[in-house]
Structure 1
Amino acid sequence: MTATDVVDYMLTALFAAAAVRALRQSVVARAGGCRSRVDHLLHAAMALTMAVMPWSRGGALPALPQSVFFAAAALWFPLTAVRSGQEGQLSATVRRLPYAVGMAAMTWMSYRAAGHGHRTMADGVPTAHQAMQVSHSMGESKAGSVVTVVLALYLLTCALRALTRDMPALRATTGTVADSTSLSDVCDRFWDGATAMGTLVMLLMPH
């Protein structure tokens, strides 16, 4: 078993557990209404896709439908940020932005998978057009690298923020969290940070 296989198994276990949790929350969570249930179902769909992705490098998962679905999911979170006037537009959007970026990362990974197939089909073009094709591919590669780096940095920031936010409170108490932090909130931030870190790893791994 190679190191890559070990990472794949770990990612599969992480996202499978995240999918089960999201599905459970979509059933038991009633306070958030329809929007909350859709949020959890989108998280479950993303986690299930990520759990399968390490074992579908041959293209078992259709790339274009994935791109369309996750692009729509990425728009869902900021467009539905405000509900019932409970908080301002900016703060609500910022709070849901990490979920939108996670979906955008899924869109980008699916897009890259589809683009790889197109590049393979482009092999064997006439020599007169080969230089233009190479130049165009280099330009796309540079732009793609910029997108990947931006997404990776944001996911890393979100993961570290979520995973380390409760550490001072946990150190300051013995066996319990601080009064201002509920155990449910701590668990939510742990899963947010873990899935963001897993998405980051998947984004940087070759598929």
Structure 2
Amino acid sequence: MSATEVVHCMLTALFAAAAVRALGQSVLTRTGACRSCVDHLLHAAMALAMAVMPWSWGGALPALPQSVFFAAAALWFPLTAVRSGQEGQLSATVRRLPYAVGMAAMTWMSYRATGHAHETMADGVPTAHQAMHVSHSMGGSKADSVVTGVLALYLLACSLHSLTRDMPTLRATTETAGNSTSLRSVCNRFWDGATAMGTLVMLLMPH
């Protein structure tokens, strides 16, 4: 097994576990918490799509419907940020922004897959249009790099923040095992950071 295949297996295992967790959370969501249930289902859908994306047979999934679906999912998180207790609208939106960016990254990867599928590399391109075609491709490549870079930096920041936030107090949190809320928060942040890092790796991998 090559090193690339090992990475693919690790990503598949990560996102498969994340999908199972998200589905389990959607089932355990209390009655009436419609927004939370939809959140978990969207996370599960994204994780399942990411689990199969590294493999060649994952390309059989239609890219355009994926782009539309995950673009709508990216809008769902900031648009459904509601006032919760003392939390203002801006704070609620910022708190849900990492999930929106994760969905946006999935949209971008699906969009790139659609664009690559429609590229024409045949020698039959008319000579009069070759220069324009090359110039357009170079401009598109630069724009692609900028979008990919911005998404990658944000995902990296989110991942490091989630994974390192509890490190100084990890021992104290473990010792207070009776505090289920704290343990649940630590677990949630771990999965948020792990999936953000996995999404970052997927974003930077050649497709």
Give the TM-score taking structure 2 as reference length: 0.93
Structure-1 separation of matches of 2:174 and 2:34: 38
Q: Is the 8 A contact 2:173 2:183 kept in 1?
A: no
CA 174–108 in structure 1, closer or farther in 2 if over 3 Å, else same: closer
Distance 1:188 1:123, change over 3 A: farther
Which residue of structure 1 aligns with residue 102 of structure 2?
102
> What RMSD over aligned residues (CA atoms) do the two structures have, in Å?
2.1
1:119-149 deviation digits (Å, cap 9, x = unpaired): 1367631111011000001000000000000
| Structure 2, unaligned runs of 5 or more | none
Preserved CA contact (<8 Å) 1:67 1:106: yes
Distance 2:21 2:180 in 1: 24
Distance (Å, rounded) in 2 between the aligned partners of 1:28 and 1:180 = 16
| CA displacement, residues 170-201 of structure 1 (integer Å, 9 cap, x when unaligned) | 14566447979610000000000000000000
Q: Does 1:196 align with 2:196?
A: yes
Change in 2 beyond 3 A, CA 1:189/1:14: same
Paired residue secondary structure (2:119):
helix
> Which residue type is aligned with residue 52 of structure 2?
V
CA distance in 1, matches of 2:122, 2:142: 19
Q: Identity of aligned pairs, percent?
A: 85
1:24-78 CA-partner distances (Å, limit 9, x unpaired) = 0001011671000000000000000000101136731111000000000000000
AA paired with 1:15? F
For residues 170 and 64 of structure 2, the distance between their equivalents in structure 1, rounded to whole angstroms, comes to: 44
Structure 2 distance, partners of 1:119, 1:27, is 42
Unpaired runs of 5+ in structure 1? none
Cα contact 1:169–1:177 (8 A) shared by 2: no
Task: Give the stretch that moved more between structures: 167-176 or 188-197.
Answer: 167-176
TM-score (normalised: structure 1): 0.93
Following superposition, which runs of at least 4 residues in structure 1 exceed 3 angstroms of deviation?
Answer: 83-86, 120-123, 171-181
What residue is the counterpart of 2:147 in the other structure?
A: 147
Distance 1:126 1:67, change over 3 A: same
